[in-house]
Amino acid sequence: MTTLLPWSIRDRTLDWGQKTYVMGILNVTPDSFSDGGQFNTLEAAIAQARYLVKSGADLLDVGGQSTRPQAIEISVEEELDRVIPVIQAVRQEMHIPISIDTTRSQVAKAAIAAGADLINDISGATYDPEMLNTTAELQVPIILMHIRGTPQTMQQLTNYQDLIGEILAFLSQRIEAAVQAGIPRNQIAIDSGIGFAKTYDQNLEILRRLSEFHALNCPILVGTSRKSFIGHILNQPNPKDRVWGTAASCCAAIAAQAHILRVHDVREMVDVCRVADAIWKP
């Protein structure tokens, strides 16, 4: 494995490989699969941000557009109205690094101006042709995820000849496009997109073969939190009852030397990371 250069964000250094970083999910949406409607007022969102930081989150990921299967796409204006006041309020109060979970360059630009520090794009910067150029201009890191289709269509697009090979090829091509746009390679992280255009068996295969993604020489983010494949294993229809199933998947990711875990249940997963890191990152 190549040594990855650290990311310096505000007063933090993300030194890849030293520990597993926990990204706390702050969905300011009425319709996300797990916590839709819980934090879509400013007061509730700020209270949750405080709780996530107190629980040990290393980063906060603020999103205003649900990406669950069949999610309805909202207007740019509505997405801005949801996320910008939250980012401004969190930034006034806390130093924690904030990522904006968006596929739109206009939202990314406004979020960075409001105090966010990096961009998390579930489309691998394919939905908006301006996303990579905007990221380069803003001089911020970006996380590129693998997906096929859109949240409305992705679960019909799960037919792969070579699952891992095709995901690697997509991410490699997106990394090259980002570099061509002027984003330094050491400011790019990747996400294999567990749950996005993937079946139950494919999600498990990605976790089993996660170490193969180190070939791309980028920090690896893994997002399994409360997802339906865990519910399938546990026969647990309520996403909030999948905490310990999520913990097991996080252990698998840490054993494969993932760098960031994007999770809802920060307090519990921080404990998981501390123990798993003691075992696998001595």
> Which CATH number do you get for residue 149?
3.20.20.20
What pLDDT, on the 0 to 100 scale, is given for residue 72? Answer: 83
Inside any domain, residue 201: yes
Inside any domain, residue 81: yes
DSSP category for residue 19: B
Total number of domains in the chain = 1
What pLDDT, on the 0 to 100 scale, is given for residue 1? Answer: 60
Residue 47 identity = A
What pLDDT, on the 0 to 100 scale, is given for residue 184? Answer: 98
Q: How far apart are CA 82 and CA 267, in angstroms?
A: 25
What pLDDT, on the 0 to 100 scale, is given for residue 31? Answer: 58
Q: 56 near 22, Cβ under 8 Å?
A: yes
Q: Which of 14, 89, 12, 8 is nearest to 50 (CA)?
A: 89
Q: Which residues of 162-188 are buried (b: 16+ CB within 10 A; e: fewer)?
A: ebbeebbebbeebbebbeebebeeebb
What pLDDT, on the 0 to 100 scale, is given for residue 140? Answer: 98
Q: How far apart are CA 220 and CA 213, in angstroms?
A: 8
Inside any domain, residue 254: yes
Which residues are tagged catalytic? 227, 262
Length of the chain measured in residues: 282
Range of the domain at 129: 18-280
- List of residues 6+ apart from 57 with CB closer than 8 A: 22, 23, 24, 96, 266, 270
Neighbours of 249 (CB within 10 A): 25
Inside any domain, residue 262: yes
Neighbours of 70 (CB within 10 A): 12
What pLDDT, on the 0 to 100 scale, is given for residue 262? Answer: 98
Q: Pull the structure tokens for residue 47.
A: 């209270």
Where are the alpha helices (H) located in 2-128, listed in sequence order?
42-54, 76-93, 105-114
- Give φ, ψ of 101 to 5 degrees: -90, 95
**Beta strand pairing status for 98-101 and 118-121?**
parallel
What pLDDT, on the 0 to 100 scale, is given for residue 38? Answer: 67
Inside any domain, residue 67: yes
Inside any domain, residue 4: no
Inside any domain, residue 211: yes
Q: What is the pLDDT along the chain (282 residues), one digit of tens a residue?
A: 678 999 999 999 999 999 999 999 999 977 554 555 566 688 989 999 999 999 999 999 999 998 888 788 899 999 999 999 999 999 999 999 999 999 999 999 999 999 999 999 999 999 999 999 999 999 999 999 999 999 989 999 999 999 999 999 999 999 999 999 999 999 999 999 999 999 999 999 999 999 999 999 999 999 999 999 999 999 999 999 999 999 999 999 999 999 999 999 999 999 999 999 999 997
Inside any domain, residue 3: no
Neighbours of 26 (CB within 10 A): 28
